[in-house]
Amino acid sequence: EAGVAQSPRYKIIEKRQSVAFWCNPISGHATLYWYQQILGQGPKLLIQFQNNGVVDDSQLPKDRFSAERLKGVDSTLKIQPAKLEDSAVYLCASSPVTGGYEQFFGPGTRLTVL
Amino acid sequence: GENVEQHPSTLSVQEGDSAVIKCTYSDSASNYFPWYKQELGKRPQLIIDIRSNVGEKKDQRIAVTLNKTAKHFSLHITETQPEDSAVYFCAATDTSGTYKYIFGTGTRLKVLA
């Protein structure tokens, strides 16, 4: 089966600019996760969707980050405006059910904010 | 809040030796513990997992042990090979709650040939 797809793979922007990331989960997977992975650290959950509803967004900086999952399939994560500390790899993952099952990760988007 | 501590942050072993990575979790409701391997520039991939009703699980050269009382679990890799070199992440989650995965900070394993 096809894996989780993400685009773009790399993005370089100036601070205060906007950026958007796209994720296409594995077909049929109800749960979708966005993680932020800062260099040298473990993935930190930003937001979790079940179908098109938000399950957890407690660590999403809502003043600058937003995410949506249209029709319970693809998802976009947006940062507006970006700060230097947003430089990280943004990983999308999906799983067939919530909890207790493997999360399948995409290749990630490496964001550099200058 | 929930927290997962992982040690050591870096680990170097000679090829053929064993490697052990340890994680401690804070949320006593956690009942599922996956381990992910992330090679340089690649996505994390699940290598083994364990549920709270099991004390140990083994898959070829990889094993995971869980001590619920002490709230810690460990990854054991025997007969290490150069291709085992990667960053390993532990995680913990409560499958009866929001299923939020809390990841450890990672261990960079280097297997020296």
Strand partners, B12: B110
Closest CA to B111 of B3, B21, B15: B15
CB A92 within 8 A of CB A105: yes
Q: What residues of chain A lie within 8 A of the CB of B24, using their CB?
A: none
What number of C-beta contacts closer than 8 Å exist between A and B?
A: 59
Model confidence at B36: pLDDT above 80? yes
| In chain A, % of residues over pLDDT 90 | 74
Beta strand B102-103 with B56-59: parallel, antiparallel or unpaired?
unpaired
What's the pLDDT score for residue B100?
Answer: 80
Pairwise CB contact (< 8 Å): A41 & B106: yes
A57 touches chain B (CB under 8 A): no
Model confidence at B1: pLDDT above 90? no
Cα-based angle A41, B70, B84 (whole degrees, multiple of 5): 45
What's the pLDDT score for residue A71?
Answer: 85
Question: Does A1 or B105 have the greater pLDDT score?
Answer: B105
What's the pLDDT score for residue A84?
Answer: 97
Count of helices and strands (H, E) across chain B: 0, 11
- Shortest CB distance from B100 goes to which of A48, A105, A106? A48
Mutate which: B32, B51, B101, B102, vs A, most A CBs within 10 A? B101
Please count the CA atoms within 13 angstroms of the CA of A10 that sit on its side-chain side. 2
Structure tokens at A81: 């405006």
What is the pLDDT confidence band of residue A1, given thresholds at 50, 70 and 90?
A: low
B24 touches chain A (CB under 8 A): no
Mutate which: A105, A109, A110, vs B, most B CBs within 10 A? A105
What's the pLDDT score for residue B97?
Answer: 67
The whole-number average pLDDT for the span A37-45 is: 90
Question: Does A71 or A80 have the greater pLDDT score?
Answer: A80
Q: How far is CA B94 from CA A34, B33, B89, in A?
A: 18, 9, 17
The whole-number average pLDDT for the span B56-65 is: 96
Which of A5-9, A54-58, B35-39, B71-75 shows the lowest mean pLDDT across its residues? A54-58
- Shortest CB distance from A42 goes to which of B43, B98, B105? B105
Q: Encode burial over B30-52: b for 16+ CB neighbours within 10 A, e otherwise.
A: bbbbbbbbbeeeebbeebbbbeb
Tell me what the pLDDT averaged over chain B comes to. 93
3-state class of A114 per DSSP?
coil
The whole-number average pLDDT for the span B91-99 is: 78
Q: How far is CA B44 from CA A9, A78, A82, B15, in A?
A: 15, 22, 25, 23
B47 touches chain A (CB under 8 A): no
Cα-based angle B38, B41, B47 (whole degrees, multiple of 5): 15
The whole-number average pLDDT for the span A40-69 is: 92
Structure tokens at B28: 């006593």
B101 touches chain A (CB under 8 A): yes
Structure tokens at A34: 């966005």
